[in-house]
Structure 1
Amino acid sequence: MTDLTALFTDLVRLETRLYNVLDARLKAEHELPLGQFEFLRFISAHGTTRVFDLARAMAITVGATSKAVDRLESAGRVRRTANPDDRRSSLVALTPLGERDLATAAPTVEAELNTWVGSVLPAEVLDHLATSLSMLRQRAESDRRTDRVPAAGSPEAASPR
């Protein structure tokens, strides 16, 4: 029987190491932190989006998301506009610079992931892993316990890496 605690530990440590490698390479080659890259990917995939939707997708607080969007906006990668359907929220869209930065950085991310994951696992194992992780993520996202707002000052409340 699989030791689920050991599996969890392996997942977390692998994620941390991969995140750090990808983040360092993106910063060095594109001056784009991985957290910002993930925001750009989400916005690109969804078109114009609300800050709240970004926060929910990234599993971070709205405050941390708003600060991250501020940084992206200051860098000229996104544009924030008033939401015509809800004056309390704003909409975020990629700028041409954001689209270009995402397009330029994406092959770097793919190459790094291929080095660390794609070249290690056979295609059928990789497909099974992708399906399994997607199922687990969807389960976690549908469980209200995973939507709790982190306490102020906790590591979870921090802005994206």
Structure 2
Amino acid sequence: MEYTSPRAEDLPGFFADLVRCETRLYNALNDRLRERHGIVTSQYEALRHLRDHPGARVADLAAEFAIGVGATSKSVDRLEQRGLAVRQPNPADRRSSLLSLTAEGARLADAAERTVRDGLAELTSGALDGASLTAAVAAVAALRATLERDGAGTPTG
């Protein structure tokens, strides 16, 4: 069956397109990251966030990725076990830890980011040129900002 893009008033079609694009991009990047770096996309995203936000807490990661704190903590446990991240006591709050990357974690984040950047350029180049890519990036960023501002889809618990 041939794909046809939805009309502007077809919001369920728009939703389906967003979800399928995200899934296909995520899976394609997952394969590349696993093959080249031995990590998966969610681990790359956590490493990148910790590289760019040293001293983040598990709750900060959970909020960034709109996932539960328990799942996030387990993900950080796996990064720690691999020697990619460390937890340090939070001097402002004894109930939480501050997260940072190890030197190995920082190197891996940088190398994986090059893989992701190259992969995204390749995967989007057949559909989006400079102007349409710029417009798509701006539209999705605006949608995300609005959803986050309004607290839409924030997990409970």
| Number of the residue aligned with 1:43 | 50
Alignment of 1:17-28 (within 5 A): 17-28=24-35
| Number of the residue aligned with 1:124 | 131
Q: Does 1:86 align with 2:124?
A: no
CA distance in 1, matches of 2:51, 2:22: 23
| Number of the residue aligned with 1:153 | none
Which of 6, 12, 35 is the aligned partner of 2:19?
Answer: 12
| Number of the residue aligned with 1:34 | 41
CA distance in 1, matches of 2:91, 2:36: 38
The count of aligned residue pairs is: 150
Q: Does 1:104 align with 2:111?
A: yes
| Number of the residue aligned with 1:137 | 144
Which of 53, 56, 61 is the aligned partner of 2:63?
Answer: 56
Unmatched 5+ stretches in structure 2: 1-6
Residue type at the aligned position of 2:41:
L
Which of 69, 77, 88 is the aligned partner of 2:76?
Answer: 69
Percent identity, aligned pairs only, is: 43
- Larger RCO, structure (CA 8 Å, separation 6 or more): 1
Unmatched 5+ stretches in structure 1: 151-161
Q: Shift in Å at residue 120 of structure 1?
A: 2.9
**Conserved in 1, the CA contact under 8 Å of 2:43 and 2:75?**
yes
**Conserved in 1, the CA contact under 8 Å of 2:58 and 2:69?**
yes
**Conserved in 1, the CA contact under 8 Å of 2:84 and 2:104?**
yes
| Number of the residue aligned with 2:3 | none
* 3-state SS in 1 of match to 2:98: strand
Question: CA RMSD of the aligned region, Å?
Answer: 1.3
Q: CA deviation digits over 1:70-96, x for unaligned, max 9?
A: 000101111111111011111100110
Q: Shift in Å at residue 119 of structure 1?
A: 4.7
* 3-state SS in 2 of match to 1:79: strand
CA distance in 2, matches of 1:145, 1:116: 29
What TM-score comes out, normalization by structure 2 length? 0.91
